[in-house]
Amino acid sequence: MKKIIVTGALGQIGSELITKLRSEYGVDNVLATDIRHPNTGAAARGPFEILDVTDAKKMHTLANDFGADTMMHMAALLSAKAEENPMLAWNLNMGGLMNALEVSRELNLQFFTPSSIGAFGPSTPKKGTPQDTLQRPTTMYGVNKVAGELLCDYYFNKYGLDTRGVRFPGLISNVAKPGGGTTDYAVDIYYKALEEGKYTSYIAEGTYMDMMYMPDALQAIVDLLEADPAKLVHRNAFNVTAMSFEPSEIAASIKKQIPDFEIAYEVDPIRQAIADSWPDAIDPSTAIKEWGFKAAYNLDKMTIDMLEKLKIKLNK
């Protein structure tokens, strides 16, 4: 049975990943860590420790004392927030990752960290974006992600560290609220649909981006963790996706359930520029071939589930 330490456990992915991991491996076998205490939620219902990921010594102590055999490094500043404070993004995203990799090397831990479609740039092929392709991102977040992919490959090739990771598209969750990502409009739109019956999108109509419903993302993490290493030609940064849509298409899906829903547009130049630099649709065939990646949700199935879950959450 795995014993897993998770950084960034209160973040967009981490907050739900904790629940998934504890259901798979047992509550006491997953140590959640974050820079702040949890008030409620899954992280509070099991082992938890305060950890600033820039503190390598404490990270090592926590992982060692817990008897961890797996490190899942989820702590990061997301795309829009990273553009607002590039120096903080570099120090947190890259410094934290280096610390996590070094602790994993020293303790011989299996290692997972997510990359992102933000690792691509405007010169990357926009449609059917391959697993191995040109990556010249124009954002600090993207630079961090490319450097992180290369670092994970380096630690595997130089030290034999069992590093694994995926390139996530936009992740849509009925649990975690938007956290400063460019794709977060695809979360906020469901809240506004139920609360106000309308939504003003900061992303322009016609802007396609890859997306995935959080249950599929969490299952992909577990599937890759459990994958036979002998079958992994790639180790890190596997393209994964479930759907690609633009704002009017998600609005149309919502209108099937809420006929009076309306969408308008007030484009945010910063987030729009980030979105324009990313692919329209990536190719996940390498992940499918090497470890059997699959997604269960399409847009309409996700919309039905999102609205059902949020009605309960919002008492609508």
- What pLDDT shows up at residue 12? 84
- What pLDDT shows up at residue 286? 98
| Architecture of the domain made up of 4-167 | 3-Layer(aba) Sandwich (3.40)
- The length of the chain in residues reads 316
Number of H helices and E strands in the chain, helices first, is 12, 16
Give Cα 280 distance to the centre of its chain.
18
299-314 helix and 247-255 helix, angle to the nearest 10 degrees = 70
- What pLDDT shows up at residue 45? 87
pLDDT in tens, 242-270: 999 999 999 999 999 999 999 999 999 98
* Rounded mean pLDDT, 18-35: 96
Please check the confidence at residue 102 and state whether its pLDDT lies above 90: yes
* Rounded mean pLDDT, 70-88: 91
The band of 177, judged by pLDDT with boundaries at 50, 70 and 90, is: confident
Please check the confidence at residue 153 and state whether its pLDDT lies above 80: yes
Please check the confidence at residue 3 and state whether its pLDDT lies above 90: yes
Q: Do the two domains 4-167 and 170-211+241-314 of this chain adopt the same fold?
A: yes
- Rounded to two decimals, the pTM is 0.94
For the beta sheet containing 209-213, the strands, ordered from the edge strand earlier in sequence to the opposite edge, are 170-172, 209-213, 243-245
Active site residues: 141
Please check the confidence at residue 308 and state whether its pLDDT lies above 80: yes
The band of 107, judged by pLDDT with boundaries at 50, 70 and 90, is: very high
Nearest partner of 71 among 153, 166, 2, judged by Cα: 2
**Residue spans per domain, the chain:** 4-167, 170-211+241-314
Nearest partner of 122 among 279, 241, 270, judged by Cα: 279
| Architecture of the domain made up of 170-211+241-314 | 3-Layer(aba) Sandwich (3.40)
